Structure 1
């Protein structure tokens, strides 16, 4: 098995040896010396909601090189949104770039939707800046076409149970990679975390700021660590929430898949504890059997385009947020009672994201960030997951497509110090103790490679996304104090979470 590799742009923090940047890649100092273009702000598209008065949102675009190593080459436009600080000039702390995750998540409306949940003193202190990362939303959206049949409804069962099914599964990954190579063309190697981090610095420069604060959730934490690696002297307060650890994408996907199995066991136990409401069984094993009957029934006969692949996606989505557990349990009950799937089908698939752009950008970024697994490793890991549980949830293992990706970097650019840059200020990391989407051990691993960083853990919590999301005053106050006053916790801060959900 090949040794794990590291994300290209984060390697400043974790590389075993350091080498100089290639001379064709502009350094942060050189980029700062170049005149920065300004962003002409104006009205936003209808997809961006208006914030409550007196705040208002404005949008614009910024032209950046497709390949930052070739600044005179082809360019693309990055869509940017801004909600200015509402406090006095004395309260203002600068800009706070925000990213909602993915990779593949659109950030243009996030400046409004996330800002609405931020503590008031943070809204008064910062211009909140959203942006669509390259390949998403309105920033040269990625289009891979059919992606090997990914969007067929119902899609084939994604869980291969024998060698023949494994070969078909690998064939679908090859077709997906071929479709992305054809659809993305010359952009294929450049829809990467490192290039996006360089776009972030171009946005900072265009706004006339010497440094930028940053709030990144999930993949946004990975992007923030990449920015800190590349531009340590441009980093202001940085909050990394629900942290993706400093590892290669395929290893992360497998770690997530194992965490999802643990979370699903917790869900089964919870559903059994509320057997009067859900009627799925009085023990976790009985609920598991009911779950298996639902999936087997959908595999035998899809209902209204909803089959086992769609079921697994709905389960994946529900496992990440405890407020979705009761609707999932009720959907299982309804299907077993009358065969309908409306209770299982999410009202807004992919949380409202454009699913085709999201799925294309997700694979493009993960595979551009570094070499992927071999086909043999993909098949072997599927067998290992089936050994852990006969019904694993494979939805989040997107980096398996990198086994056939047409752009396959064999090494990663080493960017600076092997332990991170001492020039970057300490970051604040936030984690939920039982988050199955970005397991908490990723935050601890990232903390080790970001010198001086602190970790805030929401204990007894089972959801993805913590700060200005879970409504926890202990977490929100600590992060606000860091963003506004620069005050870090003295050591690791443990906040008490809500525990398992109540029945609505």
Structure 2
């Protein structure tokens, strides 16, 4: 998960995963490694507010890596060269979250937050994943109502049933089968990792470094597994579970824990004396008020012209809570929404991205979510999980175990999901906030265990999603920057308790 907000292992199955996925990757790796780097036609990047140094190029890659001489697709990527050629080490890939997002423009914005010694050391590389943005794009031409956040995020009905969710899954899956084209079947995390290696080869780099966040940490971990000797310095920021059996199902399920980790921080802030957006007198009262308002909006939604859907119902209210917990800077928006809902009014409708952008992002997102693994197709299985989740985690009302579009996906996975192991060079620094709504600490600890000696992890005593140079603290930021600039990591896992930066 990023923005759309921008979503334990069964070891008995691991041998089958490795026997299929690794040879598949090795064949594609050898092809990329043996090919002479193509001539790249660097041009001025399209867009506004871009650093004038940023330049863009494209390459062609196989749509289906099992058919390397078949149909090709285009990958778009960008570069800002290292600022000190004398100290240049290589290329730092900025691997975006999502799925359903790109980093093509990130060298110009997020990349400029990097300290000077890091910008001196690396070419900053952004890219749009296959299916997204200026790479060969996909669209399913969804109905407008199905572009709502509460359709992609699997909120059940107020009574916990998933009948409507299953109907949405069938409708959206049919739209993708009808309108998505053949590329929809070949969008996956493993293929994104293979695409990254083709970009590496096109740049003429023997190895790459990376700064990956959120879903991008899974892409980075998969790249490390498929191309272990092509990795230099990898930062995995805000990490999800590596469960290769459940994959994105486990990431959705993590929201129930993530919200419980984070809502108390909001509740303390929203009950603080002197806060102009104070919601209640105590943190406990804030929680009770939120649950009471959500239940009332389930029964009596408020009209909300211009929004999608055009009403503030209980699930829209919960989704806006979830979105606000990504960043403490968004706490005031949630508090004001609660205060308005208590009065029976609504704030101005949030501005949505252009329809074409939403269509593209959601199509790419669902393709990744659904192609990486096969999801259950039984409504009864989802309703059982929803009931269990609602009983233990009332703030999320069963959503983390609900039925996504993948419950009716028309395609079977092309290959098993890649299992993350401890075999390979020790090139990874994980950075993880203690209180992260989308990728909670519990999932990061699972990835840390899976990577074994390959990784060191820095746990940051901070709140919010995205730790490095965002919602972390000065200690964590300094540790990551030092690693990128020098290659030196802490000798063991550590905790950063310094004040927020």
Tell me the TM-score normalized by structure 2. Answer: 0.86
Residue in 1 that maps onto 2:199: 203
Local SS of the residue matching 1:354: helix
SS at match of 1:223: helix
1:472–1:158: structure 2 CA closer, same or farther, 3 Å change rule?
Answer: closer
CA shift for structure 1 position 108: 0.7
From 75, 79, 97, give the equivalent of 2:93: 97
For the pair 1:470 / 2:467, whether they are aligned, the reply is: no
Say which SS state the counterpart of residue 467 (structure 1) adopts.
helix
> Among residues 175, 182, 204, which one is paired with 1:179 in the alignment?
175
| Aligned residue among 225, 231, 241 for 1:229 | 225
Indicate which of 405, 408, 412 corresponds to 1:408. Answer: 412
Question: Distance between the aligned counterparts of 2:42 and 2:372, measured in 1?
Answer: 31
Q: Determine whether 1:83 maps to 2:80.
A: yes
Find the residue that maps to 2:73 and give its secondary structure. strand
Q: Cα 1:169–1:333, aligned 2, differ >3 Å: closer, same or farther?
A: same
Contact 2:302 2:346 in 1 (8 A): no
* CA gap 1:477/1:321 in 2 versus in 1, 3 angstroms: same
Does 2:308 match 1:302? no
The answer on whether the counterparts of 2:327 and 2:465 sit within 8 Å (CA) in structure 1 is yes
1:394–1:346 distance in 2 versus 1, CA, 3 Å? farther
The equivalent residue for 2:47 is: 46
Secondary structure (helix, strand or coil) at the match of 1:108 reads: coil
Note if 1:434 corresponds to 2:440. no
2:33 is aligned with 1:36: no
Alpha carbons 1:275, 1:282 under 8 Å: kept: no
CA contact (8 A) 2:102 2:127 kept: yes
Q: Is the CA contact 1:119–1:476 (under 8 Å) kept in the aligned structure 2? A: no
CA 1:269 to 1:23, structure 2 compared with 1: closer, same or farther past 3 Å?
closer
Q: Distance in 2 between matches of 1:258 and 1:204?
A: 37
Distance 1:175-1:442 versus aligned 2 partners, 3 A rule: same
Gaps of 5+ in 1: none
Deviation at 1:359, TM superposition (A): 2.0
- Tell whether 2:258 aligns with 1:259: yes
Match of 2:339 in 1: 333
In the alignment, which of 143, 156, 159 is matched to residue 162 of structure 1? 159
CA contact (8 A) 2:222 2:418 kept: no
The CA RMSD over aligned residues, in Å, is 3.1
Q: Deviation per CA, 1:57-93, whole angstroms, max 9, x where unpaired?
A: 0112111111112111111111111111111x33111
Q: Which has the higher helix share?
A: 2
User: For the structure 1 residues 24 and 50, does the alpha-carbon distance in structure 2 shift closer, same or farther, using more than 3 Å as the test?
Assistant: closer
Q: Alpha-carbon deviation of 1:348?
A: 6.2
C-alpha separation in 1, matches of 2:465 and 2:370:
24
Cα distance, 1:407–1:455 mapped onto 2, change above 3 Å: same
CA distance in 2, matches of 1:69, 1:118: 38
Q: Deviations over 1:156-207 (max 9, x none)?
A: 99431337x4222222122222222222232222110111111100101111
Q: d(CA) in 2 for partners of 1:227 and 1:153?
A: 29
Confirm or deny that 1:70 pairs with 2:72. no
- Contact 1:245/1:442, CA 8 A, preserved across alignment: yes
Q: How far did 1:257 drift?
A: 2.8
For 1:87-130, what per-residue CA distance to the aligned partner results, in whole angstroms no more than 9, with x for missing partners?
1x331110001022001112111121111111110011100000
Q: 1:60 aligns with which of 54, 57, 62?
A: 57
1:373 and 2:373 equivalent? Answer: no
Which residue of structure 2 aligns with residue 287 of structure 1? 286
Deviates more, 1:102-111 or 1:443-452: 443-452
Instruction: Identify if the C-alpha distance between structure 1 residues 279 and 214 changes in structure 2 by more than 3 Å, giving closer, same or farther.
Output: closer
Cα deviation for residue 239 of structure 1 reads 0.5
Deviates more, 1:129-138 or 1:436-445: 436-445
Structure 1's 279 and 95: CA in aligned 2 closer, same or farther, altered over 3 A? Answer: closer
